[in-house]
Structure 1
Amino acid sequence: MRKFLLTAGLCCSLASAHAQDIAPYGALPSQAQLDWQDMEYYMFIHLGPNTFTDNEWGHGDEDPKVFNPSQLDARQWARTAKQAGMKAIIITAKHHDGFCLWPSKYSTHTVRESSWKDGKGDVLKELSAACKEYGLKFGVYLSPWDRNHPAYGTPEYNQVFANTLNEVLSSYGPVFEQWFDGANGEGPNGKKPVYDWPLFHNTVYKNQPNAVIFSDVGPGCRWVGNEDGIAGTTNWATLNVTGFTPGKGAPAQSVLNEGNMNGEKWIPSECDVSIRPGWFYSPSTNDKVKSVQQLLDIYYGSVGRNGNMLLNVPVDRRGLIYSADSTRLMEFRKMVDASFRVNLAKGAKVTATETRKNNAKVNAKFLVDGKKDTYWATPDNVLKGTITLTFPKATTFNRLVLQEYIALGQRVKGFSVEVLEKGVFREIATATTVGHKRILSFPDVTTTQVRINIQDALSCPVISEVQVYRAPGLLAVPMIQRNKNGEVSITCASADPELHYTLDGKEPTFKSPKYTGFISLPKGGVVKAKAFLEKGKVASTTVTAAFDVAPAKWKVIYTDGQADGADPDRAIDGNPNSFWMTNYQPDASKYPHEIQVDMQDTLVLKGFTYTPRHQTVRSGTIYTYEFYISQDGENWGQPVAHGNFANIANNPVIQTIKFNTPVKGRFFRLVAIAPANENEHWASVAELGVITK
């Protein structure tokens, strides 16, 4: 720890010396944090027994022999990351199930006990070597929760975990980031341990003094408060941490999303998100890889809002990055490169008001020199200023990038952007914080002058870069939806595309059936669709939607008292944007809640789906459930499925539960046993479905 603090102090001293008479403001980043922020975009890899069991959170009782990625090729992962423009790879060395991707001497649940390479393999060794070969940094995720280790839940476990950390961090070369998950479950004794975070942090810094430690409260970088990869429109790199701990002791998710203005520590946000709906590989999500547009939205919502983008690309059961994921990564990089290839600001004359005097390090011309360590600044106590770009001829653009010289602290509280039109300046955008990087997107504007008005700051603003770009347009992917009656509609946000689709599983082409109206699929099926422009010369990526039996005749026959306006039929209306919710209960003893449905037909069911409410307010999400099937709606017997929707609080995507054996029935009943968030004593359902195929 001491070595790390000395590094941080040296960074601050160098910043002050470099900036001459500009005094640092507030909490400051260490050199390791500055280097980390410059990385911007890197890969997460989830791999373990869950890859082979279709679980998000394993229980630790899996047979380790299930882990057998027979074609595992860490060089393919590193090569893919490098070609995608990523700067590093972080791997789940140990997830909550306790399975270690290296032959740990502190566990009996490791690759040593697996079928892979007859127990002689070491994933961390292969990946660290591959990262070194391809010029990538190497990071590790180790969960302190261990559902396998017999000591978990006892005071002795903290030292076991520290030993495990020491083993990894001393064996595989430089580690740029240590990722800590705050999840804390009960041990075999029914107790949750109190994690010794100072011990864990000291173990990290003893082995890797320059590592950036991730958790809800850092100390190196923080969780952004969601698993959508999106930072707040206001995002401070500073955070108040006194009295808080990772996990349930963390600040509110809204605080993590935005940080604290004048926060006591420099702990910038890392925005983690998966390229698929889940974190581990599942064959069922091969056609659900995020589109280029979705990845761009995440990029602008993370890197473009003073955060780093950590994109999970789960390795498949062969031990390879799946082709659809790899292809999408390359398409995404191509689009980002095209969007930020030519900085139009370099051809402009730059002037600024309120420029600090008698300082050779401060000049408006430095704003467009492409160097992060040069800057423009106002005098002390001057919190406003205007930067003007004057182009030699009318210039069209739709992106603006602003960067602060964050070695001296984060300062800007608000700014606006104006363009000159017919002799008058018109405001086209406003924003709050800047930090390492702020990217604003807006429709094409054409002008000869742009003004960036710094409207308020915590201290004199110090701006290092202003960049202007014209990003190419992107044809939106279609959206496929089905209503309660089984009628499928296909729409697209782009203007006037032709939409073509298939129902036989084949890739749509311009010669495939053209969408002209509802497609009737009451019994379910697979729809693939694509948008086309210019008579098929320009095409979107393909979107796929799989449907089972439509709820056309279904009726809700019983619920607990629902909240006002939360009609229970909304749980079976085919619309995931509507929801049913039960009344608020003052205490947890009023749980469970339930909903019963008559399908009007007797079906052989192989499973069910639960779509949680996924809106701005994620309220009433179910965690522990029981699912029953009945022939008569009165005799329910034992549940055909029960358990937890793992990680649903942070990643509220559709949950697919398969039964061990098919069950015949006409009625089904979902019982919410416990909520995902302990303080929510109610339940909600956006959509319920059944699996018959």
Structure 2
Amino acid sequence: MKFKLIIFIVVLSFLLFSCGTKKILSSFEIRDELGNYYIKKVDFPASATIEEKVEMASRVIPTTNQYKWQSLELTAFIHFGVNTFTGKEWGTGKESPSIFNPTSLDVDQWVRVLKDAGFKLVILTAKHHDGFCLWQTKTTSHSVASSPYKGGKGDIVKEFSDACKKYNIKMGLYLSPWDMNASSYGTGEAYNDFYVVQLTELVTGYGELTELWLDGAKDPNAPNQTYDFERYLEVLKKYQPNAVSAVMGEDVRWVGNEQGYGRETEWGVQGYKPNSYKDSESYNSSLGLVLTGKDLGSRDILKKVNSVYWYPSEVDVSIRPGWFYHDKESPKSLDKLIDIYYKSVGYNSVLLLNVPPDKRGQFDSKDIAVLGQFGNYIKTTFANGLLKNVTNTWVNAKIGDSKEYALKTPSAINVLLIQEDIMKGQRVEKFSVEVYSSGQWQKITANNKEPNLTTIGYKRLLKFDTVQNAEKIKITIDEARTNANISQVNVYYSSK
């Protein structure tokens, strides 16, 4: 026993000595040749200066699940339920299940169309605020089991899961915490128990889940109900360890609007405390942090927060004015969808585009047409980069450093793609781009104005005025939190 104790003391002494003035790495830290990385979160010491906070923030990185989620880039939403048949956006919870009767439901069509358009993940509203469940749940009769669909034997979530597997597309589910039909809603733990049973049914019965969407919407006049998000997430992590939780979850942040536009300056590592924390509302409010704010991660934010979190942005928007299908509405134009793409995926965010099925249970032909055009635009525009090297990495780029990239041949260009290696942190605060053409360098402009080139993050796409006969480009790191790591650079020509 004494021998074991001596060995323990020797090992502990070595660890303490080797760490010097640094603390022993905690469970959420990793180390490489460049120093410590903080996975998902770091708490600042009370005495930390702004310079120390900036340096620590530069080493916060996403979890593996968050990184895989961000790399999907294009994801889709499907709002389908009793609202499809009532023409409402928010139901009442009093709808008769008998109205849910799609005449020619084709879940296979939904997933096939989205897959063909380039989407990598599809999220279905398994239960919206009205409480109507699209699966065979044991928790309530307010479900597809009480509807005429397949004589009450249908299971939309099962059909959806099967289609996702068939087309090799990732699956997500939306389960509204607000439930207008549940008699236990507003009673506290009884409703949390009810919700946990529903969630458990979904995360154990339908295969692998990539994203769980926990909506924060609720009518201000609805009964007061404290959601136990920590408990919900424990269930998710137990049965679906590879899934991310969004909005009221801890992994993915709502961008702050439903128009389809992200922020030009978008930090994946930022000061807003994720909504899943019990004290998040009071904490964020005390610091003036709101999801609709223009700034969540700048140095000004770092000055006043105690912690920063890797909490990347998801941009949700519907292809139509409403989230559910309405006969008189029309889909957005191709030009509008392209603009949304550049200002969501191109602004260091993931796009979540809603496409609602109609009363038949199918996508409208007009929606299918524009989705096909949208997917074709992205595929053709970004099929072949015009720079010489397929991979254009740039490691340890210092403030003031520049790097030139040559084109394969003099070409017309009007799109820049640039990415940071976010598994080494998001670090660039400002950069500039020049194009060499006709014997001279010129800074790129968008609509004859110099664009706001601040953050990069996972991906920044910049559309600019077409430059003819471009021979090379030059990237300069103007401001950064510490040495930056650029994982990809390329240029393209967009016909629109």
Q: Same fold (TM over 0.5)?
A: yes
Alignment map for 1:215-226 (pairs within 5 Å): 215=247, 218-226=249-257
Contact 1:400 1:439 in 2 (8 A): yes
Contact 1:414 1:456 in 2 (8 A): yes
Alignment identity in percent? Answer: 40
Gaps spanning 5+ residues in structure 2: where? Answer: 1-25, 38-57, 446-450
**In structure 1, C-alpha distance between the alignment counterparts of 2:74 and 2:29, rounded to whole Å:** 25
Is the aligned partner of 1:415 residue 2:415?
no
Tell me the residue number matched to 1:649: none
Contact 1:402 1:465 in 2 (8 A): yes
Question: Which structure has more strand as a fraction of its residues?
Answer: 1
Alignment map for 1:597-612 (pairs within 5 Å): none
- Give the superposition deviation at 1:12: 6.8
Is the aligned partner of 1:171 residue 2:205?
yes
Q: 1:444 to 1:22 in 2, by over 3 A?
A: farther
Alignment map for 1:174-185 (pairs within 5 Å): 174-185=208-219
**In structure 2, C-alpha distance between the alignment counterparts of 1:312 and 1:206, rounded to whole Å:** 29
**In structure 2, C-alpha distance between the alignment counterparts of 1:106 and 1:392, rounded to whole Å:** 61
Contact 2:386 2:408 in 1 (8 A): no
Letter in 2 for 1:50: N
**In structure 2, C-alpha distance between the alignment counterparts of 1:294 and 1:376, rounded to whole Å:** 33
Point out the structure with max Rg over C-alpha.
1
Tell me the residue number matched to 1:369: 390
- Give the superposition deviation at 1:209: 1.1
Tell me the residue number matched to 1:268: 312
Deviations 1:538-583 (A, max 9, x none): xxxxxxxxxxxxxxxxxxxxxxxxxxxxxxxxxxxxxxxxxxxxxx
Contact 1:12 1:407 in 2 (8 A): no
Q: 1:219 to 1:386 in 2, by over 3 A?
A: same
**In structure 1, C-alpha distance between the alignment counterparts of 2:309 and 2:106, rounded to whole Å:** 40
Contact 2:250 2:276 in 1 (8 A): no
Tell me the residue number matched to 1:378: 396
Deviations 1:31-65 (A, max 9, x none): 11111111000210000000000000001011111
Tell me the residue number matched to 1:253: 291
Indicate the SS of the match to 1:311.
strand
Contact 1:142 1:180 in 2 (8 A): yes
Q: 1:243 to 1:386 in 2, by over 3 A?
A: closer
Letter in 2 for 1:106: T
Contact 2:247 2:254 in 1 (8 A): yes
Tell me the residue number matched to 2:488: 465
Q: 1:392 to 1:121 in 2, by over 3 A?
A: closer
**In structure 1, C-alpha distance between the alignment counterparts of 2:374 and 2:29, rounded to whole Å:** 36
Letter in 2 for 1:417: V
Contact 1:295 1:332 in 2 (8 A): yes
Contact 1:384 1:457 in 2 (8 A): no
Deviations 1:600-621 (A, max 9, x none): xxxxxxxxxxxxxxxxxxxxxx
- Give the superposition deviation at 1:258: 4.8
Contact 1:44 1:89 in 2 (8 A): yes
Q: 1:258 to 1:306 in 2, by over 3 A?
A: farther
Alignment map for 1:18-97 (pairs within 5 Å): 20-21=33-34, 24=37, 25-97=58-130
**In structure 2, C-alpha distance between the alignment counterparts of 1:266 and 1:79, rounded to whole Å:** 33
**In structure 1, C-alpha distance between the alignment counterparts of 2:366 and 2:410, rounded to whole Å:** 41
Is the aligned partner of 1:212 residue 2:248?
no
Aligned residues: 429
**In structure 2, C-alpha distance between the alignment counterparts of 1:37 and 1:385, rounded to whole Å:** 28
Indicate the SS of the match to 1:327.
helix
- Give the superposition deviation at 1:115: 1.3
Is the aligned partner of 1:278 residue 2:322?
yes
Indicate the SS of the match to 2:60.
coil
Contact 1:270 1:310 in 2 (8 A): yes
Deviations 1:348-375 (A, max 9, x none): xxxxxxxxxxxxxxxxxxxx434xxx83
The answer to which structure, 1 or 2, has the higher relative contact order (CA under 8 A, 6+ apart) is 2
With the length of structure 2 as denominator, give the TM-score of the two structures. Answer: 0.82
Contact 1:384 1:461 in 2 (8 A): no
Tell me the residue number matched to 2:461: 439
Tell me the residue number matched to 2:421: 405
- Give the superposition deviation at 1:449: 2.6
- Give the superposition deviation at 1:21: 3.7
Contact 2:393 2:489 in 1 (8 A): no
Letter in 2 for 1:386: S
- Give the superposition deviation at 1:242: 4.0
- Give the superposition deviation at 1:162: 1.4
Once the two structures are overlaid, the 10-residue window that deviates more, 389-398 or 61-70, is 389-398
Alignment map for 1:101-140 (pairs within 5 Å): 101-140=134-173
- Of 183, 194, 202, 1:160 maps to 194
- Give the superposition deviation at 1:394: 2.7
Indicate the SS of the match to 1:325.
helix
Contact 1:12 1:30 in 2 (8 A): no
Question: Which structure has more helix as a fraction of its residues?
Answer: 2
**In structure 2, C-alpha distance between the alignment counterparts of 1:186 and 1:341, rounded to whole Å:** 48
- Give the superposition deviation at 1:192: 1.1
Indicate the SS of the match to 1:93.
strand
Contact 2:272 2:290 in 1 (8 A): no
**In structure 2, C-alpha distance between the alignment counterparts of 1:427 and 1:317, rounded to whole Å:** 51
Letter in 2 for 1:316: D
Gaps spanning 5+ residues in structure 1: where? Answer: 1-8, 348-367, 474-693
**In structure 2, C-alpha distance between the alignment counterparts of 1:74 and 1:87, rounded to whole Å:** 16
